[in-house]
Structure 1
Amino acid sequence: MSSTPENRAPATRTPESHAHENRPPSPRVVVIGAGIVGCSLADELTARGWTDVIVLEQGPLPAPGGSTSHAPGLVFQTSPSKTLAEFAKYTVEKFSALEVDGLSCFNQVGGLELATTPERLAELHRRAGYAAAWGIRGEVVSTARCKELWPLIDESVVVGGYHTPDDGLARALLASRAQIERATARGARFLDRHTVTGIEQENGKVTAVVTDQGTFPADQVVSAAGFWGPVIGRMAGIDVPLQPLAHQYAKTAKLPDLADAMAEASKPILRFQDRDLYFREHTDRIGIGSYAHKPLPVDPFAVLPYDEARAQNMDMPSSYPFTTEDWAPSWDDCRWLIPALRDTDIEEGFNGVFSFTPDGMPVLGESRQLRGFWLAEAVWVTHSAGVAKAVAEWMVDGRPSLDLHECDLTRFEEAQRSPSYVRERGSQQFVEVYDVIHPLQPMEQPRPLRVSPFYARQQQLGAYFLEGGGWERPHWYEANAPLVDALGPLPERDAWSARHWSPIAAAEARATREKVALYDMTPLRRLEVTGPGALDFLNRMTTNNLRKKPGAVTYTLLLDETGGVRSDLTVARLGPDRFQVGANSPTDLDRLLRHAPTDVQVRDITSGTCCIGVWGPLARDLVQPLTRDDFSHEGFGYFRAKETYLGHVPVTAMRLSYVGELGWELYTSADLGLRLWDTLWAAGQEHGVVAAGRSAFNSLRLEKGYRSWGTDMTDEHNPFEAGVGFAVRMDKEDFVGRAALESAGEPTRRLTPLLLDDPAAVVLGKEPVYVDGTPAGYVTSAGYGYTLGRCVAYAWLPVLATGTGVHIEYFGEKVPATVADEPLFDPKMTRIRR
């Protein structure tokens, strides 16, 4: 586990520490799939006292023929995702402690990533920053050091590398055996040659798993079937957004340079990401994997059973024939990097099948549609033990100890779940495995997928669109380019921070502060909660007091039972039993639906509605002439809502501001959205109205210190640590998470505002922060504050006094910054409340 301060649990906590705790009787659990994930999960569950566990496998044990059976076993812990990094760290920790017949289940040879271009070397510095942020040992090393670590490479083509001494090779089948033995000793049963043919259910609850060898009653079922996940999901009536793809892996003939090798591997696993290649030793030969070839999608419903595959001369169902035509370009690249390969050839190879999702993350969690049916899918060996631990915690304890929102099975929008989308995006994830990905880099296809009613007008204004949740989101408008001349000189940006950025964003931010701007807020999720029990339900689920008269708007939080922030919500009471809830993701809808009583209805109204944010000191001058209702400060106070008309358009107007300026969020139905935009645009011409994008929005909200859930705070943080304790009312009736907050104690870490000392410096997020020369935390959100003339960064750090100096590591450079008071802009809220 990481030593950085964001972690809940100490590194010494192991599954065995749960075994003797008092727990209710073990439910009947059936795990489908005895690959590395299923075996790890059985071990983790039984270690926590759930011993009535059956693992069903269609192939023979211990090598049943799925992805685990052919996996090369590379474990690189460094990832831009903190969650994936934590998964991988636990995998290393656990497998390093497992042995079978005196052989360790993990060969800690280390990892080495090579750069052959300046751009890749810069990326390796960024990866070293991730490592420092997440508590992983790693450093950027010289060409000479790369040659020492891997003598076979041609150092003349290498400009540097990234070395991680604690990475290595997981012996996946051996680790599976070790965990089978441990779980079996605690009471679990592993049954191979059992093909699942159905999932039985009753009243929305799973009841049994049907196989060709009989039926197994179950209270909980976990699909850990790997690329067969969609097949199992269909039996349960659950779609699994997963696309299997074939990946080329080859072994050379024996190499004279490795003739004296005694160990399976002694050199670091090697990544040559500039050519989408990786290398590992197999004693006296080298194994090579390639992501350079075209995507080779596999239909999971057409994968042969084990015996049929063997009858057709396949080693296993997941091992397809090697396609030499796809290999040829990669082989040239291999020989260019490693001269010793020029005198040998490939002796064997295969195309191995494994799983990709539309965003490259695992799919984890319990289905709401079929209670007791869990997914642990699209998991690579790298993350297997960590995923199993998290899912076991989730099942046994009710929640995982890590934030899993990036992996939650509910995270995809409905528009992102079509088979075509899953296939296309899964294939692109294969292509991008080793690509240098900018944090703002949008997908290229399929686009446009979701557009707001204002899309045509945005195109006319030259919107620069990025994508999120399938939505086209304007980040700035070329129509505002003439406004840049009035700004004066802006600090020059480096090549990385200049991507997906324009100085026009600064002009739009200034126009918002000085005049008025229109922001497309349509992609923000909107839920409608109605019914006689709606008020009691929402008040119990959230932290703030919602018992206010209709017309009130309240910022509040969804917590879990341990007090972690699952989401933040804006709740408008539009009638005695009718609420509009501004939420963050499909997971929020799922959580409310799981807990809603029968007299409460919850539905997503996002797609049928739209929203324009009208913000700036002239916002009232723009809006008031369009309505007969009183939009004065006295007549329409802050955090109030009105249902009214603007021109011909019925709107729900909420006086909110996430940019720190006077204004309203204006909601209407999608069919009237374009008319609303045109009405506001025409009325705003005399006031200098501009359309503004999310780049300016992010800058303005950071200056005000407004949090972004999923980035600045997650369920790993409680409200008082995250700086949103003002949304918690401990004096109201009971709410989810209250008991945990009462015993939480004083925070030892905080989401901390930082101002970079150098007005020209910029960071982007996820960089490590050093206090007294030691990594102490990491940046969440960051962006240039155009009003302040400094870059603003928020970071999770130990509690530090205002004025404390820290350093943020940006591409290997230590950038000085200072802890600041918040809000950084307009602390008395005079601009909003006028």
Structure 2
Amino acid sequence: MTARAGAARVVIIGAGIVGCSLADELTERGWRDVTVLEQGPLHAPGGSTSHAPGLVFRTNGCRTLTGLASYTVEKFSGLTEDGEPCFDARGGLEIATSEAQWAELHRKAGLAASWGIEGELVSARRCAELWPLLDESKVLGGFFTPGDGLARALPASRVQAERAASRGARILDRHTVTGIERADGHVTGVVTDRGTFPADLVVSAAGFWGPVIGAMAGVSVPLLPLAHQYATTSAVPGLDGRRPILRFQDRDLYFREHPADDPATGGFRIGIGSYAHRPLPVDPYAVPAFDDAPVMPSSLPFTHDDFAPSWEDSAWLLPALEDSSVEDGFNGVFSFTPDGMPLLGESRELRGFWLAEAVWVTHSAGAAKAVAEWMTDGRTGMDIHGCELSRFEGAQRSPAYVRARGEQQFAEVYDVIHPLQPAERARPLRVSPWYARQQELGAHFLEAGGWERPHWFEANAASAKGLDLPERDAWSARHWSPIAAAEARATRERVALYDMTPLRRLEVTGPGALEFLQRMTTNQLAKKPGAVTYTLLLDAAGGIRSDLTVARLAADRFQIGVNGPADLDWLTDHAPDDVQVRDITSGTCCIGVWGPLARDLVQPLTGADFSHRGFGYFRAKEAYIGEVPVTAMRLSYVGELGWELYTSADLGLRLWDTLWAAGQPLGVIAGGRSAFNSLRLEKGYRAWGQDMSTEHTPYEAGLGWAVKPDKGDFVGRAALAAHPPEGARRRLVPLTLDDPAAIVLGHEPVYVDGVPAGHVTSAAYGYSVGRAIAYAWLPPAAAEPGTAVHLEYFGEKVPATVRAEPLFDPAMERIRR
């Protein structure tokens, strides 16, 4: 929702670092009727901001979090209080005492290069120079980022609140929120113990009290408060107050310097934060307000027994601590979500009610900027789909799920996490109708969006024997099996069944359905019933919100394949009264039947004509497969002949068994996501959210063919006209690694003439083309086929070459036979 500058009445709940940052960002954009309500005193109101240690390490495996942190550093570096900057760029040092962590730091250095963060791998000797108290003999090396450092959260909060107030905002303390007023599904005001504040927009920036505020609004907030231990030592000789912040992830520890309590004696102490202890969940309803707490509400009593192992590990790394002791400590409350990401965006349950929750100081200003952009402009300047509140399904908001996943996120804060590593807790949650059959076939399941997704099947292991595959390093071999190669080969040579049920499906109906979808998407949908069209959802600036597959099943009925709940929200919000948008995912299921023998499998099971002439590519028809009614769409995400077969969930098992039995003489197999990803990259099929996002236009992403400006007006059309294809600032292009034995997994930096010029999005080994494939964003001058580049993989420069796409079957002969 957007509003004219100054027209919306905004109430922000919480005057911590996020609330103050948001008030500053909104008023900077011209909004004046902004009120910040705080239950405690200003400007140390008692939440996480009041005790946060302020460490800012920007480099993250998630590009979005790196971007949010980078803006926080940029903004706070420009803020001062009494001549003191609100950010101290003393640098960050991460050290490795194990080979696994040393390898991880090499990977992290690659991520930093990908995301534009200055950093360098340094020797153990250099680590000891940067932190003289380190036992150099224990250290293998480190990763030093000179631009990281300490955010002074309380001064930053004060400065931003003062700036917002100077522009007209009200910052009110000692106002405890007791209720949220609403009418006709929209928020109308905030009730406090000192009066009611009318509002058009309300933003909950209440930190770990977020679930309490959400409950008042009837909005579920999937957030778990957990206590995190922080201890401060007595004065330690050898410190000067200018050392980098230090991470010791092998033991889940971090360190920073503090001035000694007694200015007369001078010296410095060491602050030690630990994630090594057991998860300590906190009931947000049990945390008192500031005036009712014996000490800071978010500062709980220190549990010495939990910290004892961490103290031993600290002294092992920093021997000088043996002559010191823990002088003070507390268990500070922080917010964790099921996936470790912030909660940003407008609620589906109550319009006008926004969340800016589960945001740490590291990302505070960046998150506030994103929310302010979203509220005022209707879009954010950077892709934040991984932070959107709508990403969680209903079951993922249950207290049991939030607790299980939140505790796991705490335990894994400093763990080495593989890109494919699945969650361990609260599984299985969502399964396809043929889940039992997949188990019988020895499926190796990973998980996404709560869905169990088979990545390969042990039943296909025999076919993998004798395949000539490159030997994988330990990292790329995790969550991978050579069976994936056998499944890819079987798909190319015979026929395979793929579980496509987790892909979200919507039904759009009504007299105005066609006109509505024409206005919302880029491609021409005015086709006869039975047509299927690939198209895009754009925002007003021409950025790709999502990509869709739209099947026109009748004059006023469409089935749409989308990418997630945000697409449902977007379409629902824009639908006119004569159009209904309904999510049909949970009541339906889908099997992809693909391979050169797909027609041999399906045609004998149906009376409908599945010949090429009778059922062309990108067409749909309703038919029966055996006894099962299906909606069949002739699509192929793997580049082979075949269909997506949809039916109701209650008939899904019957559909699977019918296809499986009929396919035995043809050598049918079940294929997993690992093979699927390889096959789709060979064909150059993009994955939204991974290869492209709102930061990219269709022309940059190589999807200009899905844009039909001549069809009439649609969302984003005017913006695209101002940014024609020839003006693209970057391009998404395929690379192949020159060495057939080389492997990369994604997010690696791409070097052109020795300089970082782009980054990899998706990567997989192409079993049909015999080498690894990586899609990457590159400047136009480097995106021409034949250009030589290098990818950095764990510190090693790997030669690669830009290629024309698609890499496999460029004439599309296999799909159209």
Query: Where does structure 2 lack aligned partners over 5 or more consecutive residues?
Result: 260-267
Whichever residue aligns with residue 446 of structure 1, its letter is: A
Judge conservation of contact 2:348–2:390 (CA < 8 Å) in 1.
no
CA contact (8 A) 2:524 2:711 kept: yes
**Rounded Cα–Cα distance in structure 2 between residues aligned with 1:398 and 1:481:** 50
Distance 2:49 2:516 in 1: 45
Q: Name the CA distance, whole Å, in 2 between partners of 1:505 and 1:94.
A: 46
Whole-Å Cα distance in 1 between the matches of residues 466 and 532 of structure 2? 38
Secondary structure at the residue paired with 1:720? coil
Instruction: Please state if 1:632 is matched with 2:616.
Output: no
Q: 1-side partners of 2:477 and 2:665: how far apart?
A: 33
Q: Is the 8 A contact 2:506 2:584 kept in 1?
A: yes
Counterparts of 1:149 and 1:816 in 2: how far apart (Å)? 34
Instruction: Give the equivalent residue in structure 1 for 2:173.
Output: 192
Q: Deviations over 1:323-346 (max 9, x none)?
A: 011111111101110000011110
| Alignment of structure 1 residues 540-555 onto 2, 5 Å | 540-555=519-534
- Corresponding residue for 2:251? 275
Answering whether residue 544 of structure 2 is matched by residue 581 of structure 1, we say: no
In structure 1, the residue matched to 2:789 is 806
**After TM superposition, which residue ranges in structure 1, 4 or more long, deviate above 4 angstroms?**
none
Corresponding residue to 1:491 among 470, 482, 485: 470
Aligned counterparts, 1:505-520, within 5 A: 505-520=484-499
When the two structures are aligned, how many residues end up with a matched partner? 803
CA distance in 2, matches of 1:550, 1:46: 50
In structure 1, the residue corresponding to 2:801 is in which secondary structure? strand
Other-structure match for 1:17: none
Q: Which residue does the alignment assign to 1:446? A: 426
Contact 1:766 1:778 in 2 (8 A): yes
1:286 aligns to what SS in structure 2? strand
Supply the distance in 2 between the matched residues of 1:582 and 1:207 (Cα, whole angstroms).
35
The question of whether the paired residues in 2 share the 8 Å contact of 1:565 and 1:719 is answered with yes
Is 1:821 aligned to 2:800, yes or no? no
Q: Deviations over 1:276-315 (max 9, x none)?
A: 00000002100000000000001111111111113xxxx2
CA distance in 2, matches of 1:24, 1:148: 52
Contact preservation (8 Å) 1:23, 1:49: no
Worse overlay, 364-373 or 140-149: 364-373
2:137 paired with 1:161? no
Alignment of 1:329-478 (within 5 A): 329-478=309-458
| Partner Cα distance (1:797, 1:256) in 2 | 49
Find the residue that maps to 2:709 and give its secondary structure.
coil
Q: CA RMSD in A?
A: 1.0
Question: Cα offset for 1:825?
Answer: 0.6
Equivalent position of 1:301 in the other structure: 285
Is the 1:543–1:728 Cα contact (8 Å) retained in structure 2?
Answer: yes
Q: Is 1:111 matched with 2:92? A: yes
Write the letter of the residue equivalent to 1:303: V
- Looking at structure 2, the residues matched to 513 and 127 of structure 1 have their Cα atoms a distance apart, in angstroms, of 36
The aligned counterpart of 1:82 is 63
Matching residue's letter, 1:213: R
Deviation at 1:369, TM superposition (A): 3.0
Counterpart of 1:647? Answer: 626
- Residue 394 of structure 1 aligns to a residue whose secondary structure is helix
Task: Please tell me whether the aligned partners of residues 30 and 220 of structure 1 are also in contact (alpha carbons under 8 angstroms).
Answer: yes
Question: 546, 566, 571: which one pairs with 1:592?
Answer: 571
Larger deviation, residues 318-327 vs 537-546: 537-546
Would you say the 8 A contact 1:26–1:49 is kept in 2?
no
C-alpha displacement of 1:26? 3.7
The aligned amino acid for 1:770 is: Y
The residue correspondences of 1:168-247 to structure 2 (distance < 5 A) are: 168-247=149-228
Assess if the C-alpha contact under 8 Å between 2:345 and 2:355 holds in 1. Answer: yes
CA contact (8 A) 2:617 2:634 kept: yes
8 Å contact kept, 2:753–2:789: yes
TM-aligned CA deviation for residue 250 of structure 1: 0.4
Equivalent position of 1:723 in the other structure: 702
Contact 2:5 2:29 in 1 (8 A): no
- How far the C-alpha of 1:23 sits from its partner, in A, is 5.9
Which residue number corresponds to residue 118 of structure 2?
137
Matches within 5 A, 1:587-626: 587-626=566-605
The 3-state SS of whatever aligns with 2:476 is coil
Identity of matched residues, %: 76
The aligned residue for residue 264 of structure 2 is none
- CA contact 1:368–1:594 (8 Å) conserved in 2: no
Q: CA deviation at 1:370?
A: 2.0
Question: SS at 2:101's partner residue?
Answer: helix
Q: Deviations over 1:755-797 (max 9, x none)?
A: 1100000110011101111111100000000000010100011
Confirm or deny that 1:833 pairs with 2:816: yes
**Pick from 92, 95, 108: which aligns with 2:73?**
92
For the residues of structure 2 that align with 1:221 and 1:497, how far apart are their CA atoms? 45
CA distance in 2, matches of 1:386, 1:52: 22
Counterpart secondary structure, 2:474: coil
Corresponding residue to 2:540 among 555, 561, 571: 561
**Alignment match, 1:55:** 36
Distance in structure 1 (CA, Å) of the matches to 2:404 and 2:811:
49
1:791-814 deviation line (CA, Å, top 9, x unaligned): 010001101221000001111111
Q: Deviations for 1:52-81, whole angstroms, at most 9, x for unmatched residues?
A: 211110000111110000000000000011
Aligned to 1:458, the other structure's residue is in SS state helix
Return the offset for 1:724.
Answer: 1.1
Q: Which residue of 2 aligns with 1:327?
A: 307
Alignment partner of 1:807: what SS? strand
Taking the aligned partners of 2:187 and 2:201, their CA distance within structure 1 comes to 7
User: SS of 1:249's equivalent?
Assistant: strand
Give the distance between the partners of 2:608 and 2:376, measured in 1 at CA. 54
Amino acid at match of 1:698: N
**For residue 230 of structure 1, what is the amino acid of its counterpart?**
P
Amino acid at match of 2:166: A
Matching residue of 1:266: 242
Equivalents in 2 of 1:186, 1:773: separation in Å? 47
Distance 1:729 1:543 in 2: 6
8 Å contact kept, 2:548–2:560: yes
Amino acid in structure 2 at the alignment position of 1:795 = A
Letter in 1 for 2:555: P
Does the aligned pair in 2 maintain the 1:59–1:306 contact within 8 Å? yes
* C-alpha distance in 2 between matches for 1:455 and 1:120: 37
CA contact (8 A) 2:681 2:764 kept: yes
Residue identity in the other structure for 2:798: V
Distance 1:648 1:198 in 2: 54
- Displacement, 1:24? 4.3
Amino acid at match of 1:269: I
The aligned residue for residue 262 of structure 2 is none
1:317 is aligned to 2:297: yes
Tell me, yes or no, if the aligned pair for 1:57 and 1:64 is still in contact at 8 Å.
yes
2:285 counterpart letter in structure 1: F
Would the aligned equivalents of 1:172 and 1:381 in 2 still touch at CA under 8 Å? yes
Matched, 1:700 2:705: no
Q: Secondary structure at the residue paired with 1:497?
A: helix
Preserved contact between residue 421 and residue 479 of structure 2 (Cα < 8 Å): yes
Contact 1:642 1:654 in 2 (8 A): yes
Distance 2:24 2:559 in 1: 44
Q: How many angstroms apart in 2 are the aligned matches of 1:295 and 1:338?
A: 25
Contact 1:563 1:737 (C-alpha < 8 Å) held by counterparts: yes
Distance 1:242 1:460 in 2: 36
Distance in 1 (CA, whole Å) between partners of 2:317 and 2:601 is 64
Q: List gaps (5 residues or longer) in structure 1.
A: 1-21
Tell me how far 1:601 sits from its aligned partner.
1.4
Q: Which amino acid aligns with 1:823?
A: P
**Which whole-Å CA distance do the structure 1 matches of 2:173 and 2:464 have between them?**
67
- Specify the code of the residue in structure 2 equivalent to 1:833: R
Q: What is the distance in 2 between the residues matched to 1:25 and 1:64?
A: 28
